[in-house]
Amino acid sequence: MKTLKSVFALAMSALIVITATIYSGVYPFGADTPHNNLTYWLLDTARDRSVAVASKDIAVPDLQQVDLLIAGATDYNEMCSGCHLQPGQKSSEISLGLYPAPPNLSAVKSSEMKNETLAQRQFWTIKHGIKASGMPAWGLTHSDERIWAMVAFLQKLPHMTALQYQILSQAGISQEDSQGHH
């Protein structure tokens, strides 16, 4: 009984301290001040677990198709590269100014994640976005097919040269032109 009481008292004081801190307005919300380690860990782990659980049953289609790659390259170049960069680029004004920083998706990342798991997570993240970061939910305005095309492209992007990137991301535009729409 006594331990129960002190656990309760401890929880109450923790709650009071947290509430007082929030209302005092001392917690920095400027994007140019990084989170403290505890807040960073909380947000990072919660986001990571959330995406992992939400995306684990998504069926991944065949991503090895040239059409997908070209469509994905065009969309990536227009909608994503400002934040997530392209081969040969180290940063942009947006990538430097955003917090959390957008990962450089053109850089090779060593990861133990299976290709399929990575594709599932990328698809989910592109479709639904990430709260309170710069990552928009593209699923509100784009079909699943277009999102899979970007996922297909993202699998190749880290291994591309700047020239290959230029050719591929322009190929879709000239294809659209020759079909008569812009």
Q: Which CB sits closer to ligand HEC, 79 or 171?
A: 79
Count of C-beta atoms within a 10 Å radius of residue 68: 20
78-117 binders of ligand HEC (CB under 6 A): 79-80, 82-84, 94, 98, 100, 102-103
Count of C-beta atoms within a 10 Å radius of residue 126: 24
Interface with ligand HEC, residue 139, by CB under 6 A:
no
Say if CB 126 and CB 147 are below 8 A apart.
yes
Which of 54, 130, 171, 173 lies at the binding interface for ligand HEC (CB under 6 A)? 130
Q: Which CB sits closer to ligand HEC, 44 or 67?
A: 44
Separation CA 74–CA 81 (nearest Å): 10
Interface with ligand HEC, residue 128, by CB under 6 A:
no
b vs e for 77-94, b when ≥16 Cβ sit within 10 Å of the residue's Cβ? bebbbebbbbbeeeebee
Binding site for ligand HEC (CB under 6 A): 47, 76, 79-80, 82-84, 94, 98, 100, 102-103, 122, 125-126, 130, 133-135, 138, 150
